[in-house]
Amino acid sequence: MKENGWYVSVEDWSRNRLVEFRKGAIAMEIARISCSHCSTCSKRMETVSRRVHDAGLKVDWERRDGGCLIVIPLPKTADPIEHLRKVLGLRITRC
């Protein structure tokens, strides 16, 4: 576990992803840090972008060492993992 976040597993994704907590938001690594946007990660970014757009959410993307994290508003009363599951439409489990 990181000091300000967790690692999660996503069903059908081969590697765990970083989740970080921010003030009023949660960030999740979609394209792996140090991946340099392979075609698999690029497709995942497109899928996630479409889902948050369809949900009408305003999000930010953060690039880090070749990877990308999506930064999503986190309501104060929301469970972080449940919120990510709902917003991103992914089967996510905390490691």
Q: What is the pLDDT of residue 2?
A: 59
**C-alpha to C-alpha distances, 49 to 4, 23, 45, 76, nearest whole angstrom:** 24, 22, 6, 23
Give the pLDDT confidence of 62-82 residue by residue, as tens digits.
988 878 999 999 999 999 999
Q: How confident is the model at residue 3 (pLDDT cuts 50, 70, 90)?
A: low
**Domain edges within the chain:** 5-94
Q: How confident is the model at residue 49 (pLDDT cuts 50, 70, 90)?
A: very high
Cα 18 from Cα 27, distance rounded (Å): 8
pLDDT averaged over every residue in the chain: 90
